[in-house]
């Protein structure tokens, strides 16, 4: 793995979407450990893997982390390691869910004051230079919001422009109708990056790049999340304990590698985060992805 790592562009860091998976015994861990133990202290071993130079912190999407909690993660990894932090769903979900499937309007939706205090400040303080990007992932928005892309992108641009400067921001959407020139312009005006995603709700990476070219992004941000048209629960049940490539997706792998090469040619920094639900085991997906990137 060390030889393979030396063949990769150093500006592009790859990692997994979270890391607390006991099934990675023999791939990342030596021996069996509980998910709780790995969540609390597994990053030290994770960061020793030569191909794992980044990680996604997903739990912040559901519940905020304090600056000391972020600092605990930062202390477990070496210089040069980077985290992708998912912003709170309070920033990106226009409604509040009540557990019965119903919901009320969310007053924190695209509220820059809330994002600044509850999302940006703790991550910046706790992670310091190990913060690779802060990602605002939007859910599939209902027609009330998606039928007027111009209105959404105007509000998105206002939100992003009001956030503290000097922090790398990215946006991931799940509505193809929002992926247009106005969206790309709003990101560019705010200095934010498009979050490329392999997900059944979105078109191919090539189609995304036609609207938001890799070369125009401040930072390459890619998340390889799901393949084969499956949902999260179905993929989780099929692939657990995530110790093998149960469903290889060479087409997506080739597309991600092409984005990496384009970014590297421009000397851009980048983060590529892979989920277990992409092919069955994100560490093994990263090994194959690295081989694809390094291929002459």
Position 97 scores a pLDDT of: 66
User: Sign (positive/negative) of CA torsion 224, 289, 60, 39?
Assistant: positive
pLDDT, mean of residues 192-219: 97
Place of tokens 């995304």: 208
Our CA dihedral for 140, 145, 150, 151, rounded to 10 degrees, sits at -140
What CATH number matches the domain at 2-294, 3.40.50.510, 3.30.590.20, 3.20.20.410, 3.40.920.10?
Answer: 3.20.20.410
Q: Does residue 173 register a pLDDT over 90?
A: yes
Query: Are residues 279 and 246 in contact, defined by beta-carbon separation less than 8 angstroms?
Result: yes
CA distance 134 to 36: 24
DSSP 32-56: ---HHHHHHHTHHHHTTSTT--EEE
| Tens digits of residue pLDDT in 5-18 | 999 999 999 999 99
Position 96 scores a pLDDT of: 77
What residues does each domain of the chain span?
2-294
Distance of CA 144 to the CA centre of its chain: 26
Reported pTM: 0.95
Helix (H) or strand (E) holding 95: strand 95-97
DSSP 240-294: TT--S-SS--HHHHHHHHHHHHHHHHTT--EEEEE-HHHHS-HHHHHHHHHHHHH
Q: Does residue 55 register a pLDDT over 90?
A: yes
């Amino acid at each position: 793995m060390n030889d393979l790592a030396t063949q990769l562009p150093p500006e592009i860091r790859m990692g997994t979407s979270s890391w607390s998976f006991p099934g990675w015994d023999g791939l990342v861990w030596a021996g069996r450990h509980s998910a709780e133990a790995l969540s609390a202290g597994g990053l030290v071993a994770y960061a020793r893997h030569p191909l794992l130079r980044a990680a996604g912190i997903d739990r912040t999407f559901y519940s905020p982390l304090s600056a000391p909690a972020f600092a605990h993660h930062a202390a477990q990894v070496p210089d040069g390691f980077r985290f992708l932090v998912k912003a709170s769903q309070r920033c990106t979900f226009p409604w509040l869910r009540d557990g019965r499937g119903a919901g009320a309007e969310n007053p924190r939706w695209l509220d820059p004051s809330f994002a600044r205090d509850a999302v940006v400040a703790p991550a910046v303080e706790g992670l310091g230079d190990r913060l690779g990007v802060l990602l605002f992932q939007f859910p599939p928005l209902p027609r009330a919001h998606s039928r007027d892309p111009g209105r959404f992108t105007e509000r998105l641009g206002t939100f992003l422009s009001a956030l503290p400067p000097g922090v790398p921001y990215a946006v991931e959407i799940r509505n193809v109708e929002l992926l247009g020139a106005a969206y790309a312009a709003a990101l560019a005006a705010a200095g934010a990056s498009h979050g490329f995603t392999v997900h059944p709700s979105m078109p191919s990476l090539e189609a995304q790049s036609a609207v938001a070219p890799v070369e125009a992004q401040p930072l390459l941000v890619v998340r390889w999340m799901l393949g084969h048209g499956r949902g999260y629960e179905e993929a989780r049940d099929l692939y657990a304990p995530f110790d093998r490539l149960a469903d290889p997706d060479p087409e997506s792998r080739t597309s991600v590698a092409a984005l990496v090469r384009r970014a590297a040619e421009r000397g851009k920094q980048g983060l590529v985060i892979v989920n277990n639900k992409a092919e069955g085991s994100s560490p093994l997906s990263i090994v194959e992805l690295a081989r694809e990137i390094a291929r002459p």
